[in-house]
Chain A
Amino acid sequence: MEKKILVVDDDISILDMLKEVFTSAGYTVLTAESAEDALNILINETVMVMFLDIRLPVMSGIELCKKIRMEDKISIIHAFTGYSSLNGLLECRGVGFDDFFIKPARLEVLLKAAQDSFERLERWKICDYGLG
């Protein structure tokens, strides 16, 4: 299985940095600067691990996650936010985010999250069902 990660953030410097980090860790990285771009990518690509910024222009990360979850209940979606509170956490868990990271997060933590996600997907044997 190709280990593909989708990173969505309107801050290009963050996209660049994460792309470098995940690529050098052996992942295929797709990036999008807006929710709309991300949805377009997902039309053609099957991505099972994602990192979504919460505060995006036009459609927020919350809305984006809701939209993805309408069709996809399996993929592992991480929220990645510049600001949070208990309400933010509740909102994220409510719309179907699996995990929640507050910026600035250490690369170690993000890499561990990516690694754990793929291990989980493997354990679920989603490839056997023609997913992933």
Chain B
Amino acid sequence: MNKTLRVLMIEDSENDAILMSRTLRREGYDVVYEIVDTSSAMRTALEHQEWDIITADHGMPKFSAPEALAIAKELRPSLPFIIVSGEIEINMAVALMKGGAQDYVRKTELFRLVPAIERGLKEAESIRKRRQAEEGLQKRVKELNCLYSIAYFIEKIDSLEDLFQSVVNDMPHSWYYPEHACARITFKDQEFKTANFQKTVWTQSAELIAHGKPVGTVDICYLDKMPDRDEGPFIQEERNLINAIAGRLGRVIERKWAEEERCHYERLHGVVEMAGTICHELNQPMQTIAGYIELILKNTEENDPIHVKADKINKQLHRMVTITEKLMRIDNCESEDYAGFSRIIKFNQNSANNAK
């Protein structure tokens, strides 16, 4: 099967072009070619069509190989550029090769054209692959850097608020166009964003999930239109990265919640233990007092002044009993302000709910 070869020929002689294409066809290529002999025609051809290779004659009335090479390097630097010309001065040939031309084939030696083109194509392909690998590596490095800084923030920063703000500030650097990117994290009713944040149509988002429930979002926006890639202007690696960021933050939130719950539980546990000790210690003597007062009340007449006083003591004692009863039912450790200089456990309220 023949290979298609799209050749842009910088050439003023149609006969030479036909000759070249015939040479290529003989070697098994399906040649598609266009002839241009001015810089504007060359620009138009490069901007509107895809090419595999450029061949350039040197001596043309309105155009020259060095001019053509400059345009090629400007618009399609990776496209192989081969000089196919009559005799040219050796210095000129060397200059062109130094400027980035792959080869120089004399028109009298067209048998060298095909090997030259094949070498050029191979070289271009390997350059393209290397560049792709480098770009991939760069994306990977960005992604790893971002995840590394997040791991660092998680380790160093204790409050969720500060952590989110640091992550948000760091995120745009890891996207393809950092200078056009801004970021935001929403968490419950809070919002953390870069100073330049603006919601645009070029947004990539991931949900923050904690314990299976959505609790916020991580957003990255481009402030200007960028070329279309895999997901709008974003590449697949960026989708993976934003998902990874949201995933890590979700786990941090879960851990934080568990810590808070544990702290609350430990505090409550301490309060309940303390309440138990106090109840026990107070109830013992109160039992003795209550018993004797009951005896006095039973053994005296109602109008006896001792009876009246004992009754008063009894009422106060029952106020104290109510307090220890409430203490025994403590099931929360919310505190409240005490006269502005201290905090005390809000226990009346707790026990009011439980006393029922």
Contact = CB atoms under 8 A, between A and B. Distances in A.
Given A20-B295, A107-B295, A13 B283 contact: no
A21 B284 contact: no
Contacts of A13: 285, 288
B322 to A, nearest CB: 11
Interface string B282-301: 01111111111011001000
A104 interface: yes
Contacts of B286: 103-104
Interface string A1-38: 00000000001011011101100000000000000000
Contacts of B290: 104-107
B355 to A, nearest CB: 14
Contact of B328 (A11, A21, A85): A85
A115 interface: no
Contacts of B276: 83, 85
B279 A17 contact: no
B277, B283, B317, B321, most chain A CB atoms within 10 A: B283
A113 to B, nearest CB: 14
Question: What range describes how many residues of A lie at the interface?
Answer: 20 to 34
A55 interface: yes
A55 B284 CA distance: 11
B199 interface: no
Interface in B208-245: none
B316 to A, nearest CB: 13
A107 B283 CA distance: 14
Given A55-B280, A82-B279, A82-B280, A103 B295 contact: no
Contact of A104 (B287, B295, B298): B287
B284 A82 contact: yes
Interface of A: 11, 13-14, 16-18, 20-21, 55, 82-85, 102-108
Interface pairs A-B: 10 shortest CB-CB:
A82-B280, A82-B283, A103-B283, A104-B287, A103-B287, A104-B290, A17-B291, A83-B280, A13-B288, A83-B279
Given A21-B291, A84-B328, 19 more contacts: A11-B285, A11-B287, A11-B288, A14-B287, A17-B292, A18-B291, A21-B295, A82-B281, A82-B284, A82-B287, A83-B328, A85-B276, A103-B283, A104-B283, A104-B289, A104-B291, A105-B290, A106-B290, A107-B290
13 contacts: A13-B288, A14-B287, A17-B288, A18-B291, A82-B281, A82-B284, A83-B280, A84-B328, A104-B287, A104-B291, A105-B287, A107-B290, A108-B294
